[in-house]
Chains A and B, each alone.
Chain A
Amino acid sequence: MPGRRRAPGRSPTEDEGVSKGFRRGLLCLALAVCLALAVCLTLAGCQAKRGDEVVVLLDGKAWDGAEVSPEKDGPRVIVTLDGAELIDLPFSEPRTVTVRQPDGAENAVAITGDAVYMAHANCENQDCVNMGQVTLGNLELRVMGGFIVCLPHRVSVEVRE
Protein backbone atom coordinates (compact mmCIF):
# COMPACT_ATOMS: atom_id res chain seq x y z
CA MET A 1 0.00 0.00 0.00
CA PRO A 2 1.46 3.37 -0.92
CA GLY A 3 2.52 5.62 1.87
CA ARG A 4 2.73 2.81 4.34
CA ARG A 5 6.15 2.50 5.95
CA ARG A 6 8.01 -0.68 5.48
CA ALA A 7 8.41 -2.78 8.55
CA PRO A 8 11.56 -1.79 10.37
CA GLY A 9 14.61 -4.01 10.39
CA ARG A 10 14.07 -5.32 6.90
CA SER A 11 16.04 -4.27 3.85
CA PRO A 12 14.92 -4.72 0.25
CA THR A 13 16.39 -7.81 -1.46
CA GLU A 14 16.16 -9.27 -4.97
CA ASP A 15 13.89 -11.94 -3.60
CA GLU A 16 11.50 -9.27 -2.65
CA GLY A 17 11.24 -8.15 -6.33
CA VAL A 18 10.20 -11.66 -7.30
CA SER A 19 7.78 -11.98 -4.46
CA LYS A 20 6.37 -8.55 -5.40
CA GLY A 21 5.39 -9.88 -8.83
CA PHE A 22 3.99 -12.99 -7.20
CA ARG A 23 2.01 -10.90 -4.78
CA ARG A 24 0.65 -8.78 -7.61
CA GLY A 25 -0.50 -11.97 -9.28
CA LEU A 26 -2.13 -13.11 -6.09
CA LEU A 27 -3.80 -9.74 -5.70
CA CYS A 28 -5.17 -9.93 -9.24
CA LEU A 29 -6.44 -13.44 -8.60
CA ALA A 30 -8.02 -12.34 -5.35
CA LEU A 31 -9.64 -9.40 -7.13
CA ALA A 32 -10.95 -11.69 -9.86
CA VAL A 33 -12.34 -14.09 -7.27
CA CYS A 34 -13.93 -11.19 -5.42
CA LEU A 35 -15.48 -9.89 -8.63
CA ALA A 36 -16.81 -13.32 -9.51
CA LEU A 37 -18.18 -13.72 -5.99
CA ALA A 38 -19.81 -10.29 -6.17
CA VAL A 39 -21.44 -11.14 -9.50
CA CYS A 40 -22.67 -14.45 -8.13
CA LEU A 41 -24.00 -12.81 -4.97
CA THR A 42 -25.77 -10.09 -6.95
CA LEU A 43 -27.38 -12.67 -9.19
CA ALA A 44 -28.35 -14.78 -6.22
CA GLY A 45 -29.67 -11.64 -4.54
CA CYS A 46 -31.86 -10.89 -7.55
CA GLN A 47 -33.07 -14.42 -7.53
CA ALA A 48 -33.91 -14.17 -3.84
CA LYS A 49 -35.58 -10.82 -4.37
CA ARG A 50 -37.73 -12.23 -7.13
CA GLY A 51 -39.05 -14.76 -4.61
CA ASP A 52 -39.90 -11.90 -2.22
CA GLU A 53 -42.14 -10.17 -4.69
CA VAL A 54 -45.87 -10.38 -5.18
CA VAL A 55 -46.66 -12.30 -8.35
CA VAL A 56 -49.75 -11.64 -10.46
CA LEU A 57 -50.85 -14.41 -12.80
CA LEU A 58 -53.29 -13.93 -15.65
CA ASP A 59 -55.03 -17.19 -16.56
CA GLY A 60 -52.19 -19.00 -14.77
CA LYS A 61 -49.35 -17.23 -16.59
CA ALA A 62 -47.11 -14.61 -14.99
CA TRP A 63 -48.27 -11.13 -15.96
CA ASP A 64 -45.52 -8.96 -17.42
CA GLY A 65 -46.95 -5.71 -16.09
CA ALA A 66 -48.19 -4.46 -19.46
CA GLU A 67 -51.54 -2.70 -19.38
CA VAL A 68 -54.47 -4.94 -20.29
CA SER A 69 -57.00 -3.28 -22.62
CA PRO A 70 -55.91 0.26 -21.78
CA GLU A 71 -59.00 1.80 -23.36
CA LYS A 72 -60.97 2.31 -20.17
CA ASP A 73 -64.42 2.85 -21.61
CA GLY A 74 -66.42 0.13 -19.90
CA PRO A 75 -66.47 -1.07 -16.30
CA ARG A 76 -63.14 -2.17 -14.85
CA VAL A 77 -61.94 -4.67 -12.28
CA ILE A 78 -59.20 -3.32 -10.04
CA VAL A 79 -57.20 -5.62 -7.79
CA THR A 80 -55.26 -4.03 -4.95
CA LEU A 81 -52.90 -5.20 -2.23
CA ASP A 82 -52.67 -3.09 0.93
CA GLY A 83 -54.57 -0.38 -0.90
CA ALA A 84 -52.03 -0.18 -3.76
CA GLU A 85 -53.26 -1.10 -7.23
CA LEU A 86 -51.81 -4.33 -8.63
CA ILE A 87 -53.74 -4.63 -11.87
CA ASP A 88 -56.64 -2.98 -13.69
CA LEU A 89 -58.66 -5.15 -16.09
CA PRO A 90 -61.78 -4.83 -18.21
CA PHE A 91 -64.89 -6.28 -16.53
CA SER A 92 -66.24 -7.70 -19.78
CA GLU A 93 -63.30 -9.98 -20.69
CA PRO A 94 -63.32 -13.42 -19.01
CA ARG A 95 -60.09 -14.06 -17.09
CA THR A 96 -58.67 -15.43 -13.88
CA VAL A 97 -56.32 -13.23 -11.88
CA THR A 98 -54.17 -14.88 -9.24
CA VAL A 99 -52.30 -12.88 -6.63
CA ARG A 100 -49.47 -14.82 -5.00
CA GLN A 101 -47.67 -13.23 -2.05
CA PRO A 102 -44.21 -14.18 -0.77
CA ASP A 103 -45.69 -15.70 2.42
CA GLY A 104 -47.73 -18.15 0.34
CA ALA A 105 -50.99 -16.20 0.55
CA GLU A 106 -52.94 -16.74 -2.64
CA ASN A 107 -56.18 -15.30 -4.04
CA ALA A 108 -57.76 -16.20 -7.36
CA VAL A 109 -60.29 -13.76 -8.78
CA ALA A 110 -62.63 -14.99 -11.50
CA ILE A 111 -63.87 -12.51 -14.10
CA THR A 112 -66.60 -14.23 -16.08
CA GLY A 113 -67.57 -11.40 -18.38
CA ASP A 114 -70.72 -10.52 -16.45
CA ALA A 115 -69.66 -11.20 -12.86
CA VAL A 116 -66.60 -11.10 -10.65
CA TYR A 117 -66.03 -13.30 -7.62
CA MET A 118 -63.26 -14.72 -5.45
CA ALA A 119 -62.89 -18.20 -6.88
CA HIS A 120 -60.28 -19.36 -4.43
CA ALA A 121 -58.25 -18.13 -1.47
CA ASN A 122 -56.05 -19.99 0.97
CA CYS A 123 -56.98 -17.60 3.79
CA GLU A 124 -58.19 -18.83 7.17
CA ASN A 125 -61.74 -17.48 7.17
CA GLN A 126 -62.86 -17.79 3.52
CA ASP A 127 -64.96 -14.62 3.96
CA CYS A 128 -63.87 -13.33 0.56
CA VAL A 129 -64.91 -16.57 -1.14
CA ASN A 130 -68.30 -16.27 0.58
CA MET A 131 -68.86 -12.64 -0.43
CA GLY A 132 -70.62 -13.78 -3.59
CA GLN A 133 -70.53 -12.24 -7.02
CA VAL A 134 -70.36 -8.62 -8.04
CA THR A 135 -72.45 -7.98 -11.15
CA LEU A 136 -73.40 -4.69 -12.76
CA GLY A 137 -76.90 -5.43 -11.44
CA ASN A 138 -76.03 -5.86 -7.75
CA LEU A 139 -73.10 -3.45 -7.54
CA GLU A 140 -75.25 -0.75 -6.03
CA LEU A 141 -77.09 -3.03 -3.60
CA ARG A 142 -74.23 -4.92 -2.02
CA VAL A 143 -73.25 -3.89 1.48
CA MET A 144 -69.70 -3.45 0.23
CA GLY A 145 -70.70 -1.97 -3.10
CA GLY A 146 -68.37 -3.15 -5.86
CA PHE A 147 -65.82 -4.60 -3.44
CA ILE A 148 -64.76 -8.12 -2.59
CA VAL A 149 -62.15 -8.09 0.15
CA CYS A 150 -59.85 -10.70 1.64
CA LEU A 151 -59.06 -9.22 5.03
CA PRO A 152 -56.39 -11.73 6.13
CA HIS A 153 -54.49 -11.28 2.85
CA ARG A 154 -55.27 -7.53 2.54
CA VAL A 155 -56.33 -8.08 -1.06
CA SER A 156 -59.29 -6.22 -2.47
CA VAL A 157 -61.13 -6.44 -5.76
CA GLU A 158 -63.28 -3.58 -6.93
CA VAL A 159 -65.68 -3.45 -9.85
CA ARG A 160 -65.77 0.16 -10.94
CA GLU A 161 -68.42 1.30 -13.41
Chain B
Amino acid sequence: MNKLFKLLLVLAIASLTVSACAGAEKESAVGFYLDTVVTLTAWVDDPQVLQDALRVCGEYEGMLSRTVEGSDVWRINHAGGQPVTVSDDTLEILECAKKVSDLSGGLFDVTIAPVSTLWDFTSGAAVLPDADAIARAAGLVDISKLTIDGNRVTLPEGMMIDLGGIAKGYIADAVKGYLEGEGVKNAILSFGGNIVAIGLKPDGQPWKVGIQDIDKPTGEYMLVARNFGGSTVTSGIYERGFDLDGVRYHHILDPNTGWPVQNELASVTVFSESSMWGDALATSAFAMGVERGAEMIEGLEGIEAVFIARDRSATYTSGAGEYMLD
Protein backbone atom coordinates (compact mmCIF):
# COMPACT_ATOMS: atom_id res chain seq x y z
CA MET B 1 0.00 0.00 0.00
CA ASN B 2 2.80 2.31 0.96
CA LYS B 3 4.62 1.41 -2.25
CA LEU B 4 1.55 2.10 -4.34
CA PHE B 5 1.15 5.48 -2.66
CA LYS B 6 4.76 6.36 -3.39
CA LEU B 7 4.35 5.30 -6.99
CA LEU B 8 1.21 7.40 -7.34
CA LEU B 9 2.97 10.38 -5.77
CA VAL B 10 5.87 10.03 -8.19
CA LEU B 11 3.47 9.76 -11.10
CA ALA B 12 1.52 12.79 -9.91
CA ILE B 13 4.69 14.88 -9.61
CA ALA B 14 5.91 13.67 -12.98
CA SER B 15 2.66 14.54 -14.71
CA LEU B 16 2.63 17.97 -13.04
CA THR B 17 6.20 18.62 -14.23
CA VAL B 18 5.34 17.50 -17.73
CA SER B 19 2.19 19.60 -17.89
CA ALA B 20 4.06 22.65 -16.59
CA CYS B 21 6.66 22.35 -19.34
CA ALA B 22 4.48 20.88 -22.07
CA GLY B 23 3.14 24.24 -23.23
CA ALA B 24 6.32 25.97 -24.28
CA GLU B 25 9.40 24.34 -25.77
CA LYS B 26 12.65 26.11 -26.56
CA GLU B 27 12.89 26.56 -30.32
CA SER B 28 15.25 28.51 -32.58
CA ALA B 29 15.17 29.83 -36.11
CA VAL B 30 17.70 31.62 -38.30
CA GLY B 31 17.11 34.01 -41.17
CA PHE B 32 19.06 36.39 -43.35
CA TYR B 33 17.68 39.88 -43.76
CA LEU B 34 19.16 43.31 -44.58
CA ASP B 35 22.64 41.77 -44.81
CA THR B 36 22.39 40.55 -41.23
CA VAL B 37 21.87 37.29 -39.50
CA VAL B 38 18.64 37.09 -37.51
CA THR B 39 18.43 34.44 -34.81
CA LEU B 40 15.24 33.89 -32.85
CA THR B 41 15.16 31.74 -29.74
CA ALA B 42 11.84 31.46 -27.97
CA TRP B 43 9.81 29.22 -25.74
CA VAL B 44 6.85 28.45 -27.94
CA ASP B 45 3.98 25.98 -28.21
CA ASP B 46 4.40 25.69 -31.96
CA PRO B 47 7.74 26.28 -33.73
CA GLN B 48 5.82 27.58 -36.76
CA VAL B 49 5.43 30.90 -34.97
CA LEU B 50 9.18 31.51 -35.41
CA GLN B 51 8.95 30.82 -39.13
CA ASP B 52 6.08 33.30 -39.30
CA ALA B 53 8.22 35.81 -37.41
CA LEU B 54 10.98 35.38 -39.99
CA ARG B 55 8.41 36.08 -42.69
CA VAL B 56 7.64 39.35 -40.89
CA CYS B 57 11.37 40.19 -41.18
CA GLY B 58 11.18 39.47 -44.90
CA GLU B 59 8.24 41.84 -45.30
CA TYR B 60 10.13 44.64 -43.55
CA GLU B 61 13.20 43.98 -45.63
CA GLY B 62 11.05 44.46 -48.73
CA MET B 63 10.01 47.84 -47.33
CA LEU B 64 13.25 49.17 -45.83
CA SER B 65 16.09 47.79 -47.93
CA ARG B 66 18.06 50.26 -50.04
CA THR B 67 18.77 47.62 -52.67
CA VAL B 68 15.35 45.95 -53.03
CA GLU B 69 13.70 47.57 -56.04
CA GLY B 70 10.33 49.06 -55.16
CA SER B 71 10.98 49.29 -51.39
CA ASP B 72 10.05 52.57 -49.69
CA VAL B 73 13.74 53.44 -49.37
CA TRP B 74 14.47 52.53 -52.98
CA ARG B 75 11.58 54.68 -54.18
CA ILE B 76 12.72 57.66 -52.06
CA ASN B 77 16.24 57.31 -53.49
CA HIS B 78 15.03 57.01 -57.07
CA ALA B 79 12.33 59.68 -57.05
CA GLY B 80 14.58 62.35 -58.55
CA GLY B 81 13.56 64.89 -55.90
CA GLN B 82 9.83 64.19 -56.20
CA PRO B 83 7.67 63.36 -53.15
CA VAL B 84 7.09 59.66 -52.42
CA THR B 85 4.28 58.20 -50.32
CA VAL B 86 5.67 55.72 -47.80
CA SER B 87 4.32 53.36 -45.13
CA ASP B 88 3.77 54.41 -41.52
CA ASP B 89 6.69 52.17 -40.56
CA THR B 90 9.14 53.97 -42.85
CA LEU B 91 7.79 57.28 -41.60
CA GLU B 92 8.32 56.31 -37.96
CA ILE B 93 11.92 55.33 -38.68
CA LEU B 94 12.64 58.54 -40.60
CA GLU B 95 11.15 60.67 -37.82
CA CYS B 96 13.28 58.88 -35.23
CA ALA B 97 16.32 59.31 -37.52
CA LYS B 98 15.71 63.05 -37.69
CA LYS B 99 15.38 63.34 -33.90
CA VAL B 100 18.56 61.36 -33.28
CA SER B 101 20.36 63.44 -35.89
CA ASP B 102 19.41 66.55 -33.87
CA LEU B 103 20.41 64.93 -30.57
CA SER B 104 23.80 63.96 -31.98
CA GLY B 105 24.56 67.30 -33.60
CA GLY B 106 24.38 65.68 -37.04
CA LEU B 107 26.71 62.76 -36.27
CA PHE B 108 23.91 60.29 -37.00
CA ASP B 109 22.60 60.70 -40.51
CA VAL B 110 20.66 58.19 -42.60
CA THR B 111 21.44 60.19 -45.76
CA ILE B 112 24.95 58.73 -45.46
CA ALA B 113 24.36 56.34 -48.41
CA PRO B 114 26.36 58.32 -51.04
CA VAL B 115 29.37 57.86 -48.71
CA SER B 116 28.69 54.38 -47.32
CA THR B 117 28.27 52.88 -50.78
CA LEU B 118 31.87 53.92 -51.56
CA TRP B 119 33.19 51.85 -48.66
CA ASP B 120 33.51 48.07 -48.57
CA PHE B 121 33.64 46.85 -44.99
CA THR B 122 32.25 43.40 -45.64
CA SER B 123 34.42 41.64 -48.20
CA GLY B 124 37.49 41.66 -45.97
CA ALA B 125 39.55 43.44 -48.63
CA ALA B 126 41.55 46.32 -47.12
CA VAL B 127 40.92 48.89 -49.85
CA LEU B 128 40.49 52.62 -49.23
CA PRO B 129 38.04 54.50 -51.44
CA ASP B 130 39.14 57.50 -53.49
CA ALA B 131 39.53 60.46 -51.11
CA ASP B 132 38.07 62.99 -53.58
CA ALA B 133 35.05 60.79 -54.20
CA ILE B 134 34.50 60.53 -50.43
CA ALA B 135 34.74 64.29 -50.03
CA ARG B 136 32.25 64.89 -52.85
CA ALA B 137 29.85 62.26 -51.45
CA ALA B 138 30.09 63.73 -47.93
CA GLY B 139 28.78 66.97 -49.42
CA LEU B 140 25.54 65.15 -50.26
CA VAL B 141 24.90 64.04 -46.66
CA ASP B 142 22.37 66.22 -44.83
CA ILE B 143 19.19 64.79 -43.36
CA SER B 144 17.77 68.27 -42.71
CA LYS B 145 17.09 68.43 -46.46
CA LEU B 146 14.79 65.39 -46.22
CA THR B 147 11.25 66.71 -45.76
CA ILE B 148 8.24 64.88 -44.40
CA ASP B 149 4.68 66.00 -45.10
CA GLY B 150 2.10 63.50 -43.82
CA ASN B 151 3.17 60.21 -45.40
CA ARG B 152 5.00 61.97 -48.21
CA VAL B 153 8.76 62.08 -48.10
CA THR B 154 10.92 64.23 -50.36
CA LEU B 155 14.66 63.88 -50.77
CA PRO B 156 16.63 66.22 -53.05
CA GLU B 157 17.96 64.62 -56.22
CA GLY B 158 21.41 63.06 -55.84
CA MET B 159 20.94 62.36 -52.14
CA MET B 160 20.37 58.79 -50.87
CA ILE B 161 19.22 57.25 -47.64
CA ASP B 162 20.29 53.97 -46.06
CA LEU B 163 18.47 52.85 -42.93
CA GLY B 164 21.17 50.31 -42.04
CA GLY B 165 21.89 52.04 -38.70
CA ILE B 166 18.31 52.00 -37.47
CA ALA B 167 16.08 49.58 -39.44
CA LYS B 168 17.45 46.48 -37.71
CA GLY B 169 16.31 47.93 -34.40
CA TYR B 170 12.90 48.78 -35.79
CA ILE B 171 12.43 45.28 -37.20
CA ALA B 172 13.64 43.77 -33.92
CA ASP B 173 10.95 45.74 -32.06
CA ALA B 174 8.35 44.73 -34.65
CA VAL B 175 9.21 41.03 -34.43
CA LYS B 176 9.13 41.25 -30.65
CA GLY B 177 5.66 42.80 -30.88
CA TYR B 178 4.56 40.10 -33.29
CA LEU B 179 5.74 37.29 -31.00
CA GLU B 180 4.17 38.92 -27.95
CA GLY B 181 0.92 39.08 -29.90
CA GLU B 182 1.26 35.35 -30.50
CA GLY B 183 1.49 34.80 -26.76
CA VAL B 184 5.26 34.26 -26.47
CA LYS B 185 6.44 35.03 -22.92
CA ASN B 186 10.18 34.23 -23.07
CA ALA B 187 12.39 34.93 -26.06
CA ILE B 188 15.77 36.33 -27.02
CA LEU B 189 16.09 37.72 -30.52
CA SER B 190 19.28 38.80 -32.24
CA PHE B 191 19.48 41.13 -35.27
CA GLY B 192 23.12 41.73 -36.04
CA GLY B 193 24.37 43.66 -33.00
CA ASN B 194 20.85 44.20 -31.63
CA ILE B 195 19.56 41.94 -28.89
CA VAL B 196 15.90 42.16 -27.96
CA ALA B 197 14.30 40.04 -25.27
CA ILE B 198 10.74 39.19 -24.33
CA GLY B 199 10.31 38.76 -20.60
CA LEU B 200 12.98 37.06 -18.54
CA LYS B 201 14.48 33.62 -18.98
CA PRO B 202 11.97 30.87 -18.14
CA ASP B 203 13.84 30.40 -14.82
CA GLY B 204 13.05 34.01 -13.90
CA GLN B 205 16.63 35.25 -14.31
CA PRO B 206 17.60 38.12 -16.64
CA TRP B 207 19.17 37.23 -19.98
CA LYS B 208 22.92 37.70 -20.22
CA VAL B 209 24.62 39.51 -23.08
CA GLY B 210 28.40 39.46 -23.39
CA ILE B 211 30.22 42.66 -24.35
CA GLN B 212 33.09 41.63 -26.60
CA ASP B 213 36.63 41.94 -25.29
CA ILE B 214 38.20 44.28 -27.83
CA ASP B 215 41.64 42.65 -27.59
CA LYS B 216 40.51 39.03 -27.66
CA PRO B 217 39.01 36.71 -30.24
CA THR B 218 35.29 36.90 -30.90
CA GLY B 219 33.37 35.16 -28.16
CA GLU B 220 35.56 36.34 -25.26
CA TYR B 221 33.90 38.96 -23.15
CA MET B 222 35.13 41.92 -21.18
CA LEU B 223 31.84 42.57 -19.42
CA VAL B 224 28.53 40.83 -19.10
CA ALA B 225 25.32 42.84 -19.35
CA ARG B 226 21.87 41.87 -18.15
CA ASN B 227 18.72 42.19 -20.22
CA PHE B 228 15.38 42.32 -18.40
CA GLY B 229 13.19 42.05 -21.48
CA GLY B 230 14.37 45.16 -23.31
CA SER B 231 16.94 45.99 -25.96
CA THR B 232 20.74 45.77 -25.77
CA VAL B 233 22.61 47.21 -28.76
CA THR B 234 26.35 47.37 -29.22
CA SER B 235 28.13 49.42 -31.87
CA GLY B 236 31.84 48.80 -32.13
CA ILE B 237 34.89 49.10 -34.32
CA TYR B 238 35.40 45.32 -34.35
CA GLU B 239 32.10 44.53 -36.09
CA ARG B 240 32.61 45.44 -39.72
CA GLY B 241 35.79 46.89 -41.08
CA PHE B 242 39.44 46.28 -41.88
CA ASP B 243 42.92 47.21 -40.66
CA LEU B 244 45.35 49.02 -42.91
CA ASP B 245 48.72 50.52 -41.92
CA GLY B 246 47.85 50.37 -38.24
CA VAL B 247 44.49 52.13 -38.66
CA ARG B 248 41.14 50.49 -38.03
CA TYR B 249 38.69 51.44 -40.78
CA HIS B 250 35.24 50.54 -39.44
CA HIS B 251 31.64 51.05 -40.44
CA ILE B 252 30.76 54.02 -38.20
CA LEU B 253 31.28 56.92 -40.59
CA ASP B 254 31.50 60.61 -39.77
CA PRO B 255 28.82 62.30 -41.93
CA ASN B 256 30.95 65.46 -42.08
CA THR B 257 34.06 63.84 -43.54
CA GLY B 258 32.86 60.49 -44.91
CA TRP B 259 35.69 58.71 -43.05
CA PRO B 260 35.38 56.27 -40.12
CA VAL B 261 35.09 58.01 -36.75
CA GLN B 262 38.46 57.85 -35.01
CA ASN B 263 38.20 58.61 -31.31
CA GLU B 264 39.06 56.97 -27.98
CA LEU B 265 36.21 54.47 -28.24
CA ALA B 266 36.11 50.80 -29.15
CA SER B 267 32.41 50.19 -28.49
CA VAL B 268 29.21 51.60 -27.01
CA THR B 269 26.41 49.43 -25.61
CA VAL B 270 23.00 51.04 -25.17
CA PHE B 271 20.23 49.68 -22.92
CA SER B 272 16.74 50.82 -23.83
CA GLU B 273 13.19 49.63 -24.30
CA SER B 274 13.04 50.43 -28.01
CA SER B 275 15.70 48.80 -30.13
CA MET B 276 15.17 51.34 -32.90
CA TRP B 277 16.27 54.09 -30.51
CA GLY B 278 18.99 51.88 -29.05
CA ASP B 279 20.34 51.20 -32.54
CA ALA B 280 20.48 54.87 -33.56
CA LEU B 281 21.74 56.04 -30.16
CA ALA B 282 24.56 53.47 -29.97
CA THR B 283 25.93 54.65 -33.31
CA SER B 284 25.45 58.31 -32.34
CA ALA B 285 27.02 57.96 -28.90
CA PHE B 286 29.98 56.22 -30.47
CA ALA B 287 30.48 58.99 -33.03
CA MET B 288 30.18 61.65 -30.31
CA GLY B 289 32.84 60.10 -28.06
CA VAL B 290 32.63 59.32 -24.34
CA GLU B 291 32.06 62.78 -22.99
CA ARG B 292 29.40 64.13 -25.34
CA GLY B 293 27.92 60.68 -25.93
CA ALA B 294 27.37 60.05 -22.21
CA GLU B 295 25.93 63.55 -21.82
CA MET B 296 23.38 62.84 -24.56
CA ILE B 297 22.38 59.49 -23.02
CA GLU B 298 22.05 61.04 -19.53
CA GLY B 299 19.55 63.49 -20.99
CA LEU B 300 17.27 60.70 -22.20
CA GLU B 301 14.86 58.94 -19.89
CA GLY B 302 15.03 55.16 -19.61
CA ILE B 303 18.21 54.90 -21.64
CA GLU B 304 21.62 53.89 -20.27
CA ALA B 305 24.95 53.09 -21.86
CA VAL B 306 28.40 51.69 -21.23
CA PHE B 307 31.34 53.03 -23.21
CA ILE B 308 34.42 50.85 -23.71
CA ALA B 309 37.53 52.79 -24.73
CA ARG B 310 40.36 51.41 -26.83
CA ASP B 311 42.51 51.53 -23.66
CA ARG B 312 39.97 49.10 -22.10
CA SER B 313 38.55 51.63 -19.63
CA ALA B 314 34.78 51.48 -19.16
CA THR B 315 32.48 54.46 -18.55
CA TYR B 316 28.92 53.95 -17.34
CA THR B 317 25.99 56.34 -17.42
CA SER B 318 24.35 56.91 -14.03
CA GLY B 319 21.84 54.05 -14.24
CA ALA B 320 23.88 51.58 -16.31
CA GLY B 321 25.13 49.63 -13.27
CA GLU B 322 21.75 47.98 -12.96
CA TYR B 323 22.30 46.40 -16.38
CA MET B 324 25.71 45.01 -15.55
CA LEU B 325 26.47 41.66 -13.98
CA ASP B 326 28.45 42.01 -10.68
Q: How many residues of A contact B (CB 8 A)?
A: 27
Tell me which of A80, A132, A149 contacts B218 (CB under 8 A).
Answer: A132
How many angstroms from the CA of A124 to the CA of B220 in the assembled complex?
24
Contacts of A142 in B (CB 8 A): 210, 219
On whether the beta carbons of B35 and A151 are closer than 8 Å, the reply is yes
Q: How many residues of B contact A (CB 8 A)?
A: 28
Q: Which residue of A lies closest to B216 (CB)?
A: A132
Tell me how far the C-beta of A151 lies from the nearest C-beta in chain B, rounded to whole angstroms.
Answer: 5
How many angstroms from the CA of A44 to the CA of B31 in the assembled complex?
36
How many angstroms from the CA of A147 to the CA of B218 in the assembled complex?
13
Contacts of B234 in A (CB 8 A): 143
Contacts of B224 in A (CB 8 A): 141
Tell me how far the C-beta of A121 lies from the nearest C-beta in chain B, rounded to whole angstroms.
Answer: 12
On whether the beta carbons of A125 and B32 are closer than 8 Å, the reply is no
How many angstroms from the CA of A140 to the CA of B325 in the assembled complex?
13
How many angstroms from the CA of A154 to the CA of B66 in the assembled complex?
21
Tell me how far the C-beta of A159 lies from the nearest C-beta in chain B, rounded to whole angstroms.
Answer: 10
Say whether B317 faces chain A, with CB atoms less than 8 Å apart: no
Tell me which of A125, A135, A147 contacts B123 (CB under 8 A).
Answer: A125
Tell me which of A131, A138, A144, A158 contacts B190 (CB under 8 A).
Answer: A144
Contacts of B219 in A (CB 8 A): 131-135, 138, 142
Say whether B16 faces chain A, with CB atoms less than 8 Å apart: no
Say whether B260 faces chain A, with CB atoms less than 8 Å apart: no
Say what secondary structure dominates the interface of chain A. Answer: loop
Contacts of A8 in B (CB 8 A): none
Tell me how far the C-beta of A44 lies from the nearest C-beta in chain B, rounded to whole angstroms.
Answer: 35
Question: B37, B123, B207: which has the most chain A beta carbons within 10 Å?
Answer: B37
Tell me how far the C-beta of B61 lies from the nearest C-beta in chain A, rounded to whole angstroms.
Answer: 13
On whether the beta carbons of A145 and B210 are closer than 8 Å, the reply is no
On whether the beta carbons of B30 and A149 are closer than 8 Å, the reply is yes
Say whether B188 faces chain A, with CB atoms less than 8 Å apart: yes
Task: Knowing A133-B219, A138-B219, A149-B39, say if A143 contacts B123 (CB, 8 Å).
Answer: no
Task: Knowing A131-B219, A141-B209, say if A147 contacts B39 (CB, 8 Å).
Answer: yes
Contacts of B190 in A (CB 8 A): 143-145, 147
Q: Which residue of A lies closest to B29 (CB)?
A: A83
Say whether B78 faces chain A, with CB atoms less than 8 Å apart: no
On whether the beta carbons of A144 and B123 are closer than 8 Å, the reply is no
Tell me how far the C-beta of B27 lies from the nearest C-beta in chain A, rounded to whole angstroms.
Answer: 10
Q: Which residue of A lies closest to B36 (CB)?
A: A151
Contacts of B36 in A (CB 8 A): 151
Task: Knowing A132-B218, A138-B210, A141-B221, say if A125 contacts B122 (CB, 8 Å).
Answer: yes
Contacts of A95 in B (CB 8 A): none
Contacts of A149 in B (CB 8 A): 30, 32, 37, 39
Say whether B154 faces chain A, with CB atoms less than 8 Å apart: no
Contacts of B193 in A (CB 8 A): 143
Annotate B21-58 by CB proximity to A: 1 below 8 A, 0 otherwise: 00000001111100111010100000000000000000
Say whether B98 faces chain A, with CB atoms less than 8 Å apart: no
Q: Which residue of B lies closest to A83 (CB)?
A: B30
Say whether B204 faces chain A, with CB atoms less than 8 Å apart: no
Say whether A156 faces chain B, with CB atoms less than 8 Å apart: yes
Tell me how far the C-beta of A149 lies from the nearest C-beta in chain B, rounded to whole angstroms.
Answer: 4
On whether the beta carbons of A140 and B31 are closer than 8 Å, the reply is no
Say whether B246 faces chain A, with CB atoms less than 8 Å apart: no
Contacts of B153 in A (CB 8 A): none
Say whether A130 faces chain B, with CB atoms less than 8 Å apart: yes
Say whether B217 faces chain A, with CB atoms less than 8 Å apart: yes
Contacts of B31 in A (CB 8 A): 83
Say whether A122 faces chain B, with CB atoms less than 8 Å apart: no
Closest 9 CB pairs of A and B: A132-B219, A141-B210, A132-B218, A149-B37, A156-B30, A147-B39, A125-B122, A140-B208, A144-B39
A132-B218, A158-B28 known; 19 new pairs, CB 8 Å cut-off, are A80-B30, A83-B30, A124-B124, A125-B123, A127-B122, A138-B219, A140-B207, A141-B208, A143-B190, A143-B193, A143-B195, A143-B234, A144-B190, A145-B39, A145-B188, A147-B30, A151-B36, A156-B37, A160-B28
14 contacts between A and B (CB under 8 A): A124-B124, A125-B123, A127-B122, A131-B219, A134-B219, A138-B221, A141-B209, A142-B219, A143-B190, A143-B209, A145-B39, A146-B28, A149-B39, A151-B32
A residues sitting closer than 8 Å to B (CB atoms) are 80, 83, 124-127, 130-135, 138, 140-147, 149, 151, 154, 156, 158, 160
